[in-house]
Amino acid sequence: MIFSRVKSWHTLLWAGILLYASGTVFARDLHPFQLHKSTGQYPDIYNLYTSVGQLGMTVTNFGILGNGWNPIDGKIQPSCQYKQHTDILRENVEHFSFAGLWIGGIVNGQRRVSTSIVDGVFESGQEGFEFFANSDVTIRSSIASTSQDSMAQYYSPLAVSHQDFLMDFKDYGSTVSDNLGIPNHTPLGIDVHLESYAWNFSFADAFVILNYSITNASPDTIRDLYAGIWADASVANMNYTDIYTPGGGFTWYDNLDGFDRSVDAAGFTRDIAYQYDADGDDGWAESYIGITPLGGSVPRTHFQTHYQQWVWTNSNNTDYPEYSMPLVDDERYSKMSSDVPQGDPATGIYGNDGYPNQTNSWLFLVSAGPFGSIPAGPDSVHWRLPPGETCQVVFAVVAARWAGTSQDSPARRANLHINADWAQKAYDGEDKNRNNRLDPGEDINGDGVLNRFILPEPPPVPNMTVDVGDQEVTIYWQDNAENFIDPISREKDFEGYRIYGARKTVTDSMPEFTLLAEFDRIDPLHDVGYNTGFDAIRITNEQGQPDSVEIDGRYYQYKFVNRGVKNGWMNYYSVTAFDRGDPESNLASLESAVSANRVYVIPGVKASSVWTGTPTVYPNPYRGQATWDGYGNREQMIWFQNLPPRAEIRIFSLAGDLVDVLEHDEQYRGQDVENIPSQKNPRMSGGQHAWDLITRYDQATATGLYLFTVENLDTGEIKEGKFLIIK
């Protein structure tokens, strides 16, 4: 597989997708490079990304994170995108092209560093691409198999999170000394097992945890092992500065980096290496990307976190001499085991935090160590990893929106702190003091084992479906959330439901979802919610007893009808479940993810097997740039309604020339109209069909009166109509 990273002041050139006999090649310039040289036993897997939460990050089985913003199989997928599930385009931000694991250690007095990726390398087999796939990728999920969530197919009782990726890679070939011909690569002889974890909880959807287990497969002891994440970050919103289009405005050179040493509630420094777009791109890139070590096999009090940054491929930075790219393993190990010196703000080229304040194509390296399985001395300052033994290092990749729009500061990084703290809480689990021991009072579940990756859980996401009609949407959902047992309180603490719809404004200044209704249990013992009860939404039989309705083989116990919804407009709905919280554990009420079961709909007249009435068009007349139109000629549309289940629509000019032919059935999802995001699979009524005003000869239509016929393909009946276009 080949990716490329363009580092130039000039316009980005897109060379398309090239196919070679050796595999798939992706290129953005005239000098693509092969990212990974397979050992042949296992295929390179590079098309998986975390999809359950808001942080969509590509994870490969050869040590690299991200996809370089290269289309995968012709599709644009997240590299490190937050928020990936939002409909607010300003918040849909990418954060790095590539990141990757570095591991360094001392073997027989020699410093060795194995890297998954480095800057400035463009050819397969060159120094820097030094990890190789040693397994396929296994996917697991803790989302119950009874859920309608797509991750339920991967349910496993062994799963840690809502989406686990498990994989193995190594830094050697057929033997631990085989460097596969890579120049200057002396393998450490290590096997790496990676497990990545992601959740869809609203409080835990902004981070991905990377759990690395590093095994010494060589016959030599590795001393003072350090692990780090190299990140070629560049915070950008592709809806505003598009890297995929020549002249799209994307640049690598408007970013700044920093290292956050603020102290969390447990008294530990957060140690977050982070980057941000310096000016936020007029509100389109007001986001942080951060990477922080969470812990490992060495207690938190016994390892150090180190931070480095430099400009892409700049090994001799005259402005910032200490901020230069390392070229050889000895220099890389030095970077991993030390901090870049902070400068004097009085010079004018450093910020108040001591890091460069001049924007550039900065990248950073955050590392932690030393690690091992055995302390080398009584002071535990140095560690050894003997042959056959394993140590663990855990990092989190964290994203966050700015808290305000002032200059970078701890206050503006408040959301980054919150999200990083949740990642830390997830890793800590029962280990509240981070000493890697189960101390008195920490054994939450009473099993005598130190358990990690524990988060408070809201009730499960309700299974839901919708029925779309004429200016009306009916939402149905199951009661699957009501018997959930909280893993911390060990109680059934379900409290109620909230029904959400699309925001009621076209601006991005309002919340993405509008709360339509809330219903909760009548429970005088717990002062949560409004004690409304569920009578208004419960499905009942003729005797008024609780009942259910069957839809597509599933039974639903609740429904909510949203009336007065405009036909032809994209809307979306979701239902969440929330609990009553646990005051004794200082836990507030928790709610399932609002975007987890979001369903997109476009209301309209339903299709009927008995075709009555006359087919019509709306808006009629169509006046150029209708409110729902986009900016291009292909982003305009009108709707034909009152259609039978299967129909052929033929459109004619007033002179009788055939303009276009549309084939319709009840399963229509807008796939033939660019203005409808068919990838969101919007539910429709089945009785209407959109047209983008483009003729069958791929030309825009002109102002004029048009005639149309609709043929019922089941009966042969034909009806006629007309509409006016004014541009």
* DSSP string covering 468-498: EETTEEEEEE--TTTT-B-TTT-SB-EEEEE
Distance of CA 617 to the CA centre of its chain: 39
Query: Does residue 586 register a pLDDT over 90?
Result: no
The yes-or-no verdict on residue 633 having pLDDT over 90 is: no
Task: Choose among 644, 661, 665: nearest CA to 652.
Answer: 661
Judging by DSSP bridges, how do beta strands 683-684 and 599-602 pair with one another?
parallel
Residue 318 has pLDDT above 70, yes or no: yes
d(C-alpha 382, C-alpha 372), whole Å: 8
Q: Which of 99-103, 315-319, 438-442, 587-591 has the lowest mean pLDDT?
A: 587-591
| Contact predicate 706/724, CB 8 Å | yes
3-class SS at 316?
coil
Token pair 């930075």 is at which residue?
A: 317
Q: Which residue has the higher pLDDT, 60 or 10?
A: 60
Helix (H) or strand (E) holding 273: strand 272-277
Determine the average pLDDT of the residues in 317-344: 96
Please, which residues bridge with residue 705 across strands? 724
State the average pLDDT over residues 343-350: 96
Is the predicted pLDDT of residue 549 greater than 70, yes or no? yes
- Region 226-255: mean pLDDT is 92
274: amino acid identity, one letter: Y
- d(CA 422, CA 428) in angstroms, rounded, equals 10
- Mean pLDDT in residue range 588-616: 93
Average pLDDT score over residue span 668-676: 92
Q: Which residue has the tokens 């008024």?
A: 544
Burial 234-248, CB ≥16 within 10 A → b, else e: bbbbbebbebeeeee
More confident position, 37 or 583: 583
Q: Are strands 622-623 and 718-726 parallel, antiparallel or unpaired?
A: parallel
Q: Which residue has the tokens 């950073």?
A: 364
H or E element that contains 428: helix 414-428
For residue 539, what is the DSSP state?
-
**In the block, which residue shows the tokens 């911390």?**
488
Partners of 17 in the β-ladder: 26
- pLDDT interval class at 17 (50, 70, 90): very low
Task: Please write the tens of the pLDDT for every residue from 481-506.
Answer: 999 988 777 788 999 999 999 876 54
Tell me the mean pLDDT in the region 598-613.
Answer: 93
Q: What is the pLDDT of residues 504-524, one digit of tens each?
A: 654 555 678 999 999 999 988
Tell me the CATH class for 616-726: mainly beta
In the block, which residue shows the tokens 């999200």? 419
Return the SS3 of 347: helix
Question: How far apart are the C-alpha atoms of 163 and 54, rounded to whole Å?
Answer: 12
Q: Is the distance from CB of 87 to CB of 59 less than 8 angstroms?
A: no
* pLDDT level of residue 360 (50, 70, 90 thresholds): very high
Helix H or strand E encompassing 335: helix 329-336
Q: Where does residue 654 rank: exposed (0-12), middle (13-18), buried (19+ CB within 10 A)? A: exposed
Closest by CA to 596, choosing from 461, 458, 399, is 461
pLDDT at 592: 94
* Single-letter code of the amino acid located at 55: L
Question: How far is the CA of 463 from the CAs of 477, 499, 673, in angstroms?
Answer: 5, 13, 30
Place of tokens 């084939």: 663
> 560 and 469 in contact (C-beta within 8 Å)?
no
SS3 239: coil
Provide the 10 A C-beta neighbour count for residue 52. 23
Give the pair of three-digit tokens for residue 405. 């729009």
CB contact set of 323 (below 8 Å; sequence gap of 6+): 309, 310, 311, 317, 340, 356
Using alpha carbons, select from 640, 685, 641, 653 the residue that is nearest to residue 666: 685
CA distance 635 to 59: 34
- Asked if pLDDT for residue 267 goes beyond 80, the answer is yes
* pLDDT reported for residue 584: 66
Rg, C-alpha atoms of the chain: 29
More confident residue, 716 or 73: 716
Residue scoring higher pLDDT (153 or 406): 153
**175: pLDDT strictly greater than 60:** yes
State which of 71-75, 220-224, 609-613, 621-625 shows the largest mean pLDDT: 220-224
pLDDT winner (highest mean) among 27-31, 79-83, 372-376: 79-83
Asked whether the beta carbons of 591 and 581 are under 8 A apart, the reply is no
Structure confidence at residue 510 (pLDDT): 64
Mean pLDDT of 348-357: 96
**Residue extents of the structural domains in the chain:** 2-428, 464-602, 616-726
Q: What are phi and psi of 110, to 5 degrees?
A: -100, 130
In whole angstroms, give the CA distance from residue 636 to residue 629.
5
Which residues, listed in sequence order, are joined to residue 367 by a DSSP beta bridge? Answer: 228, 306
Interatomic CA distance for residues 359 and 375, integer angstroms? 42
* Confidence band for 40, pLDDT divided at 50, 70 and 90: low
pLDDT (average), residues 704-711: 98
Tell me, what DSSP letter sits at residue 546? B
Return the pLDDT at 139.
Answer: 98
pLDDT score of 30 more than 80: no
Query: Binning pLDDT at 50, 70 and 90, where does residue 29 land?
Result: very low
**Minimum mean pLDDT among 87-101, 340-354, 620-634: which range?**
620-634
Confidence at residue 631, expressed as pLDDT on a 0 to 100 scale: 67
The amino acid present at 596, given as its one-letter code, is A
Identify the pLDDT of residue 609.
Answer: 87
Least confident span in 261-275, 331-345, 446-460, 630-644: 630-644
Per-residue pLDDT at 274? 98
Lowest average pLDDT, out of 16-30, 202-216, 320-334, 463-477, goes to 16-30
Mean pLDDT, residues 116-121: 90
Element containing residue 367 per DSSP (H, E): strand 362-371
Token pair of 555, please?
């039974």
Higher per-residue pLDDT: 459 or 10: 459
Would the pLDDT of 648 be above 50?
A: yes
pLDDT at 470 over 80: yes
Residues in CB range of 708: below 8 A, 6 or more apart: 615, 617, 640, 649, 650, 651, 652, 720, 721, 722, 723
Please state the pTM of the whole predicted model.
Answer: 0.88
Mean pLDDT rounded to a whole number for the chain: 90
What are residue 207's DSSP bridge partners? 398
pLDDT band at 24 (very low <50, low <70, confident <90, very high): very low
Q: What percent of the chain has pLDDT over 90?
A: 78
